[in-house]
Amino acid sequence: IDLTSHIIKVYLTLKVENLGTSPASEVHLAFSPAEAEHLAIVKAAATSGKRKKKTYIPLDVKSAELPDGPNGTKFFTVTLLTPLNKGETATLEVLYILTHSLEPFPVEITQSESQLVYFRDSAILLSPYHVKEQTTFIKTPSTRVESFTVVDPAKRAGTELKYGPYEDQPPYSYSPVLVHFENNNPFAVVEELEREIEISHWGNVQVTERYRLVHAGARHKGAFSRVEYQTRPDATGVSSFKHLLAKLPPRVHSVYYRDEIGNVSTSNLRTDYRKSELEFQPRYPLFGGWKSTFVIGYGLPLQDFLFESPDGRRYLNFTFGCPLTQTVVDKLILKVVLPEGSKDPTAVIPFQVDQHLEIKYSYLDVIGRTVVVLEKSNVVPEHNVPFQVYYTFNPIFMLAEPLMLSIAIFLFFVASVSYLHADLSIRK
């Protein structure tokens, strides 16, 4: 269990054995209701080989309903590649990510205090199966651990806590533990991110991102002393953050960073041929409970993202998620604005999102542009995977825009001809 940042990553290495008579093709994972509420993503892979030669084959994970769990337990089912016969074993690695699961305690801290948080989990894995042997390792970001529940055998060495090994646990056994430790890594949470990707067939993809950022750690109380903050950076504001990093695609141009007041000049863009990094600083450092609202926009060349599929349709291949590193997005609204005249839009995404269509009126629009809106909650950096939006477009529609301008100017000429031809003199 990796507790180094505010996004908790839990890696499970399961060695499953089929003791029944019929082949099993599914393995069930159980989560407590509190965990399930904050679960961002569950991924599983089948491993073969050892150490450096390990190969990972990703497996399908789906949410499932099983009747026989204690009340509120949520289940996920991992589908194995080949069914497991009686007596066979298989090794699975499961990664699941929890957000908003580190509870700050004390709830409010002053500028000079360090941030301490609670982490609640179980020393024994919650599982619908009988567990023969298990060990839990918890990794904290620093060596300061105020307290942790002792469930024998438990040991602490530096930044690692070890619970176990525990033998022969019945299904659904749960032993709550509470770890109180120091975590000063930036608790950057974006409450709402609205990302608009506008495709123009004349050669540009324009991305506009509207952020509402908040520091989701222990709330700041008392006064903020700028003098103390700047003169003693190691002793004050250790849990605050002022730098944010956004990873953008290569060949990005016209990047801007502004908020309600205007342009914010504290930003740096570093580009190379594989990626671009925008490092920016809000107007003030963010302490617990402080918010910042801003807009970041940039343009990208069309040929990097728009492709033609074999059946003749066009598709946009873009990365889902938020470009900011180490941040959780509570609500992500991704809008793909397709050019005027596009028909039959469909989106292909590897995970569950809410989709609907909208209309947007922009420059030189008559019938409006179709917008594919994808909404997702609880987005973490693991969700930054490519997705596609397919649509059909007849290239002749591109001529509609210059012809509209030409017709407008021609009407001006016709008006001038008619004025010059009209004879309004009273005298013949």
Q: Report the interface residues with other proteins, using CB under 8 A.
A: 198, 200-204, 206, 254, 299, 301-304, 306-309, 314, 362-364, 395, 398, 401-410, 412-414, 416-417, 420-421, 423
Nearer to other proteins, 35 or 198 (CB): 198
DSSP secondary-structure letter at 244? Answer: E
Nearer to other proteins, 289 or 297 (CB): 297
Nearer to other proteins, 273 or 363 (CB): 363
What are the φ and ψ backbone dihedral angles of 390, each rounded to 5 degrees? -95, 145
Q: Report in angstroms how near the CB of residue 423 gets to other proteins at its nearest.
A: 8
Q: Report in angstroms how near the CB of residue 386 gets to other proteins at its nearest.
A: 12
Residue bearing tokens 């066979």: 88
Nearer to other proteins, 48 or 317 (CB): 317
Question: d(Cα 113, Cα 220) in Å, to the nearest integer?
Answer: 10
Residue bearing tokens 């506009």: 208
Judge whether 134 and 175 are in contact, CB under 8 Å: no
In sequence order, what are the beta bridge partners of 270? 277
Q: Report in angstroms how near the CB of residue 425 gets to other proteins at its nearest.
A: 11
Residue bearing tokens 């903050």: 229
Question: d(Cα 162, Cα 133) in Å, to the nearest integer?
Answer: 14
Nearest to 206 by CA among 216, 195, 198: 198
For residue 132, the Cα-to-chain-centroid distance in whole angstroms is: 36
Nearer to other proteins, 227 or 407 (CB): 407
CA angle 381, 386, 389 (to 5 degrees): 130
Q: Report in angstroms how near the CB of residue 301 gets to other proteins at its nearest.
A: 7
End-to-end Cα, the chain, rounded Å: 99
Q: Report in angstroms how near the CB of residue 375 gets to other proteins at its nearest.
A: 26
Tokens representing 49? 């080989």
Nearer to other proteins, 64 or 404 (CB): 404
Q: Report in angstroms how near the CB of residue 299 gets to other proteins at its nearest.
A: 8
Q: Cβ-count burial of 395 within 10 angstroms (0-12 exposed, 13-18 middle, 19+ buried)?
A: exposed
Nearer to other proteins, 162 or 335 (CB): 335
Q: Report in angstroms how near the CB of residue 269 gets to other proteins at its nearest.
A: 17
